[in-house]
Every structure is written in C-alpha cells, then in structure tokens.
Amino acid sequence: MDRMLVVVFDNESKAYEAQRALLELDGEGSVSVYSYAVLTKNSDGTATIKNSDDTGPLGTLAGTSLGALIGVLGGPVGMAVGGAAGALSGATVDVDKARVGNDFINDVSKVLLPNRVALVAEVEEEWTTPVDARMEKLGGAVFRRAVSEIRDEQDAENMAAMKADYDQLKAEHAKAQADRKAKLTEKINQLDSKIQHRLQENKERREALKREAQAKAEVLKAKAASSRLRAS
C-alpha cells in the first residue's frame, strides 16, 4: 500500500539516523521508498529542507504528492528551501495535491513544532512493524496515511455544479432583455474561464499522478527482479 510517512524528531541527527534506517529497510525489502526529505520547522513557522532524494525514482520533488505534502507542512508563511531541494521553491500549499486529509496534516502539525525535525517520505509497505520499530527506537513520533484519490469524486461534483450554473446562465441569457444580456454575458464568461482553468488543473494533476504511478511501478518491478536474482 502506498503511504505518506512523517516521523518527527527533536533534532536533526536523529532524523538523519531515521533516514539511514529507512533506506536500510528499503534495501532489505521491508519497505519501498519512493522519495524522501528531511524537513526542519523553523521558529518563524517556515520550514527548511535539509536533505532530499531529488534524484530518486520520482525525480524532483516539485510537482509530486510528497512535494505538495512538504509544502503544506511548511506552512502558509512559505518555505526556506535548502540547496539540496532547490526545485521545491515553487511548492504549492495544497492539501488535495498531497493526497492526505486535513486531519492528518493537523495531527502532524501538533507535533512538528518549531525547532523540531521530520523525516517525510512516500513509501510502499505491506505492514507497519518494521518501520515503526526502527523509528520508535530512535525516539520518533510516527504518522502515516494511505494516499487517496478522493479528490477525483469531489472534482466531478464541483465540475457538475459549475456546468449546471453555466447552463442556467445561458438559458437566462437567451430570454433576457438587451440591458440584462450584457451582465449575463460577463457572468457566463467568468464562469467559463473558471471551468476551463479547473479542467486544465485536473488534466495536469492526472498527468502528474500517471507519471508518479509509472515511476513507482518501475521501482517495484526492479525490486522484484532483484529479489529473484538473489533467490536463484
């Protein structure tokens, strides 16, 4: 199961130990690590990326679900981006793109306080014990959430509502007097612009998710091939 993993520590050294432990578990086959970053919460509410896997199987974090999660955890004030993750300078603060619920963000934010550090990763794991045992031994507070596709249903509902409004305005425009037509035309154009913008956003999101899914599939395929080689 694909999951977002956040492990919060009191200092950077423990977070880096946790990063090494997570990659060791990946090497052992206990978990598949798609991408990760070490994030420090600053005293002013911003966040600094101390280390990231910007050359991993998903490539740059920018535009990925993990990148969006990091942007959300960075807070509305913005992010002070370290050199290792310069591509995140445009990270969007969008919970939907992070593919986790607001409750997950709230739970993490209550623990990821100023001057604390988090290991943030997107992983595939069949069971939680290997990761939890290693992280808890290092003193980390572990949070995880399966990545969600719930926004697809919400988008469909929102788009249907916008199109219904558009059709209603068009119907009113056809029957309106000349002095009213101009105002209705403006409203129709504004709503059409919003609909087109939403359609483009949804298209870009689907394409990004498709690229992520393909990259993840390649990771799992490579691991399976490696396991067969070791077994033979």
Segments making up each domain of the chain, as ranges: 2-146, 151-231
Average confidence (pLDDT) over 186-204: 86
Confidence of residue 58 (pLDDT cuts 50, 70, 90): very low
Helix axis angle for 65-74 and 102-111, nearest 10°, is 50
Of residues 40 and 72, the one with the higher pLDDT is 40
The pLDDT score that the predictor gives to residue 75 is 56
CA end-to-end span of the chain, whole Å?
Answer: 27
Q: pLDDT digits over 117-161, tens only?
A: 999 998 888 888 999 999 999 999 999 888 765 455 566 777 888
pLDDT cut 90: percent of the chain above it: 25
The pLDDT score that the predictor gives to residue 76 is 43
Joined together, the tokens standing for residue 101 give: 């619920």
